[in-house]
Amino acid sequence: MFKNRLYKTLNIASNEDLKLFSKKSKIPTKKLKYYNEQGLLPYHEDLQSILQTTGFTEFELKIKLGILDDSILDLLNAHSKEISILMNNNLPQIESNSHHTFAFETQFGQMYQGDCVSLMNTMKNGSVDLIFADPPFNLDKEYESGMNDKVSEEQYLRWTEQWVLKCVDLLKEGGSLFIWNLPKWNTYIANILNKRLTFKHWIATDIKYRLPIKNKLYPSHYSLLYYTKGEKANTFNEQRLPLEICRKCGGDIRDYGGYKDKLNPLGINLTDVWYDIPPVRHSKFKTRESNELSMKLLERVISLSSNVGDLVFDPFGGSGTTYAVSEILKRKWIGIELGSVDLIKNRLDDLGYQQSYIEEIQGNKNVLFTEQMRKIRIKKGHWLPETLKNKDASN
C-alpha cells in the first residue's frame, strides 16, 4: 500500500507516518492517499504545504514524482552532458529472476511457458511483423495460472513499461503493435508509445454488458491501441463490413438517399469503433473460466496487419486465441503463457470447428451484403446493387 512515489518521496512507510505528515502539512490523510494512489502532483495550497514541510523546490518534487513537463525537459536537455557525466553514462538495469521454458511447437508456431519478459530478452530485436498483447488488467482476478493480477498501480505500471518497451524493440520497422486493455491503462501505455512509435488508432470495441455503476459514466468500450514502427505499416489489408440491415425486415438501418449506387460493392469502410465483436460465452468457443478474446477480433487484427508467413507474437497466451487464429491463417507465431499451457495445446490440437468459424467470418466481410442478407432482401423486395443497375438501365 505504501510503495507509490509520493509516499516514498515524503518518507511515509506506515499509517503513523501518514498521520504525522498530515498533521505537519495540514493536508487530510484522505487527500494524501488520493494523490498517492492516483500518482498526481498535489494541487494548489496542498502543493505549497508539501514544499514548505519538506523544503523541496517544485522542480525537485516533480523530478522525484516522475512528472516531467516541457519546462523540466527543456532544462534537462540544456544540461544533458552534465547529467550524463553525473550518472556515469549508465542507467540502472532491471534484473529479473524470472525464466521460461519451451513447451511445444505446431506447424507454424512455437509455444513457451513462463515469464514473457524473460522470453522477449532472448528474441531478436526487429524480428516480429505483428504484436498483439492482451495483458492482465490489474482487477484482482484469479487466473488459471494461479496468479492474482491485483498489485499496486505503481508496480503494475512499472511492469507494463517493461514489457511494452520490449515489444517496441522486437517489432520490425513497418511492423504493427496492438494492445488490448482498459482505457485507463491504455492512456499510460499510449504515453510510452507516443515517444517511440507512430500512433494510428484508438479503436473502441463496444461492450455488451449493462450493469449500473454509481457516480460514473457507464464504461461501454474496451480500448485497442494500434501503432506502427515508422510512418507507414508494411502491411495494411483493407477490411470492409457488410451494410447494416434490420434483422427482422431486412431493410436499411441508415438512409443512404441518392448514394446507394455509389456504395462500394466490397462493403463499408471499417471504422475505429467496432460494434460487431461478440463476447465469448458459447461453450463451443469458450476454453476456460476466465474471460477470453473473440476469434473474430483476432481474425480482424491479424488479417489487417499481416500476410501469410509473417511472424506474429503474443506475450500473454491466455486461452491461445491469437495462436489458434495465426495457425489457421498460416502465420508463423511465437507465444508464451505464465501458467499451464495444456488448454492452449488442446485447443491447437483440434482446430476443426475453429477453422470453420474463421472461414465463416471471412466469407461475411468485404461484401456489401452477405448471402443470408441478400436472401432476406430479395424476399422483402429491398434494393440490391444489381436492382439499382437494372433500374438505371431501364430509365
Question: What's the pLDDT tens digit per position in 326-355?
Answer: 999 999 999 999 999 999 999 999 999 999
| Cα gap 312→278, rounded to integer Å | 23
At 72-128, the pLDDT tens digits run: 999 889 999 898 888 876 666 655 667 999 999 999 999 999 999 999 999 999 999
Question: What confidence category does residue 288 fall into, taking pLDDT thresholds of 50, 70 and 90?
Answer: very low
Residue 269: partners with Cβ closer than 8 Å, 6 or more residues away: 240
Mean pLDDT of 158-176: 97
Residue 245: partners with Cβ closer than 8 Å, 6 or more residues away: 251, 252, 253, 369, 373, 376, 377, 382
Is the Cα torsion angle 42, 47, 49, 53 positive or negative in sign?
A: positive
Query: Residue 31: phi, psi to the nearest 5?
Result: -70, -40
Q: Can you list the domains of the chain with their CATH numbers?
A: 5-86 (no CATH), 100-363 (3.40.50.150)
At 170-227, the pLDDT tens digits run: 999 999 999 999 999 999 999 999 999 999 999 999 986 666 778 888 888 999 999 9
Give me 345's grid cell. 495445446
| Cα gap 309→326, rounded to integer Å | 10
Is the Cα torsion angle 306, 309, 310, 314 positive or negative in sign?
A: positive
The whole-number pLDDT of residue 285 equals 47
Give the pTM.
Answer: 0.88
Mean pLDDT of 250-262: 83
